[in-house]
A and B are shown apart, each in its own frame.
Chain A
């Protein structure tokens, strides 16, 4: 895998954040916070009228972007993120990043990246850094 510092990672898109998947996620996480499944609760808090996506899902979209670029989820070595804002049902998102370093560690070729998740037409909702293992040349030619 030929990677240079400054290379942009291919963007990964969410066409429309699903309120139904938030409900399943609330059950999976045993998360009782109603802002993820009850629009009335969101309204009562003055946060609009659309359910709020779970933070871990936002992080997961960035992991998907990194896996699509690097060759799989088993490539991820580290991801550090800061949650900057809310994502609401119906939002369109794009995840992306840029390579900041390419290095070797314990025989692995690693790429350090800056990553983001942004609401299309809005502000970044997540920013962070990641490290992924790059496919060795021998693996690419198999």
Chain B
């Protein structure tokens, strides 16, 4: 329903996105990427265990959507200033450098709120699951919330 050409969606339109599934995809923890991620996060590059930041990187990198696509589901675009709200990484088995992971997930919550100073905003939650392509094991869950400011 929503795309950025429609302007601010109604609270009902926002709520209607709950359950909408991401196209999904696969993510490979390439050794070069593992090295660079360790470097930028001030960790020691090397080793077989990928930095746990890869749960977020793999999940959000293989939703099958661009960020602008996802924002468009809620009638927003990057220039509207969507913000990270909260994040939760749950690791069932550490990700491996060289591992290939299948990602699937959906919108789990979407609600219009009104802040005393911030005015109206939408809080959207989405959850992504990671499966190791080598054996199908469910290795991690990545839950996030995005805050969409709404101009009153």
* Interface size counted on chain B using CB atoms at 8 A: 28
Interface of A (DSSP majority class): helix
Q: Complex Cα distance A59/B57, Å?
A: 12
Q: A63 near B86 (CB under 8 angstroms)?
A: no
Verify if A90 is at the interface (C-beta below 8 Å from B): no
Minimum C-beta distance from A113 to chain B (A): 14
Q: Complex Cα distance A24/B35, Å?
A: 12
Further contacts, 4 of them, CB under 8 A, given A24-B40, A79-B52? A63-B52, A73-B43, A78-B90, A79-B88
Within 8 A of A (CB), among B74-105: 78, 83-91, 94
Within 8 A of A (CB), among B39-86: 39-43, 49-53, 56-57, 61, 67, 78, 83-86
Chain A interface bracket (under 10, 10 to 19, 20 to 34, 35 or more) = 20 to 34
Verify if B36 is at the interface (C-beta below 8 Å from A): yes
Minimum C-beta distance from B129 to chain A (A): 15
Q: B86 near A79 (CB under 8 angstroms)?
A: no
Q: B88 near A64 (CB under 8 angstroms)?
A: no
Within 8 A of B (CB), among A51-83: 55-57, 59-61, 63-64, 67, 72-74, 76-83
